[in-house]
Each structure stands twice: as C-alpha cells, then as structure tokens.
Amino acid sequence: MTHQHPTVEFYEGIVETINNISLRRDPATGDRMMLLTFDQLRAIEKFQSFRSRFAKALKLVDEEGAIAIEPEGIRFIFDGPEGDDLQRVECTLVIDRDDHWDRLMRFMERYAEANSMAYGESPQADGLS
C-alpha cells in the first residue's frame, strides 16, 4: 500500500478540514455515532460546490482506500449580527457494524495524526465506553 494523506470530501476534489470529532453511543440502540465539526466548508466558499460533483456521501480516503458514508444528518450553525455568518457545520455519522466502526477509527487515527489532532475526554464524558 502506498502512503496516502487522509482526506475528507463532500464534493469530489474539494478537501475539507475536520476541526473537532466527538464519539458517542446511543443509549437506546447501542449504535455508535461520530460527530464531525467543520468550522468552514471549502465547498461552499466561492460556490465551489457548483463546479464539482456532489458525492452523496462523506468520502474519506486514506492508504487503505476510500470510505463513503451517508451522514445521518448535517447541521449548519449560523452566527453574527445578521445571523448569516457560518459558525460551523456538524455532520453526524451512525455506524452499526463493528467492522465498519473499526475501519472508520483507523481512518480517524490516521487523519488525527496527519493533522496534529489529539484525543481528549470531553467534560461530559459522553465518549464511548
């Protein structure tokens, strides 16, 4: 396998930057969830998304290959005096299979290492148990 810098894309060819990752478990179903937070999306800056193909899924690429995950939800949070400044985008992924979770975690470990991110417990300790 060749070394591939881990990337994240909503639109083909437009690489996004994850600013925060939160891991959770649904107490009712036991499903594992990952909340990815983006402080900005390059795809919507200067309307780049109109020039690229929408992936219909979040595309994660690393040295093991590509993962395509359809988000459970994407939430745009706006702020500012007029309420029209994009503050962040939250993308929720739900993973119900152990092998998919393991693969996603291997990607996230590579992504975190490549982008100088570090793991830390949240003050609420709502991470996976």
Q: pLDDT tens digit string along 75-84?
A: 989 998 888 8
Q: Is there a contact between 55 and 11 (Cβ–Cβ < 8 Å)? A: yes
The residues that bridge with 89 in the sheet, in sequence order, are 38, 76
Query: Is 127 part of a structural domain of the chain?
Result: no
Q: How many CB atoms lie within 10 A of CB 17?
A: 13
Query: Is 56 part of a structural domain of the chain?
Result: yes
Q: For the domain that residue 44 is a member of, what is the CATH number?
A: 2.40.30.220
Residue 118 has a pLDDT of 82
- Whole-model pTM: value is 0.79
Query: Is 100 part of a structural domain of the chain?
Result: yes
Domain span at 27: 7-114
Domain count, the chain: 1
Residue 38 is which amino acid?
F
Query: Is 30 part of a structural domain of the chain?
Result: yes
Residue 127 has a pLDDT of 45
Residue 46 has a pLDDT of 59
pLDDT tens for 18-32 read: 999 999 998 998 899
Q: Pick the closest to residue 33 from 128, 129, 120 (CA basis).
A: 128
